Amino acid sequence: MAFYSGFFNSKGLDRTYTAEDFTSYLSSIICNGILDTYGQMFKLTAANSGLGVVLGTGKAWINGHYFINDSRYVIHSRKAQRRRVNLRSVRLARLRRQLYLRPA
């Protein structure tokens, strides 16, 4: 069994921390999901023209990593259908080191 502690300032470069150290800490205090206190919580609304939708502002957390949309974002439909369900999800790609938005 080992003991761990953190975070402390480095003296003479005796400590180095990685993103994994920080995200591990954040994931212990911030739950995965969409923040209900930031922006429009990624609300989807109909676009002014065509069959696209507009993604509202929002912030999401996944395992200590964050994803922010700070302005309205228009999503154009690839398939023009009058009856459809628009679902989007935020995905964590560890190998690409990013969170991204994709159709669910």
| Each residue's pLDDT tens digit, 20-55 | 999 999 999 999 999 999 999 999 888 887 778 899
Q: How confident is the model at residue 86 (pLDDT cuts 50, 70, 90)?
A: low
Distance CA 102, CA 7 (A): 34
Distance CA 27, CA 75 (A): 30
Question: What is the four-CA torsion angle of 69, 83, 91, 45, rounded to 10 degrees?
Answer: 10
Say if residue 100's pLDDT is above 90.
Answer: no
Q: Which residue has the tokens 């003479």?
A: 12
Q: Where are the domains of the chain?
A: 32-103
Q: In this structure, are residues 58 and 33 in contact, taking their beta carbons and an 8 Å threshold?
A: no
Q: Where are the beta strands (DSSP E) in 11-72?
A: 33-34, 44-46, 53-55, 58-62, 65-69
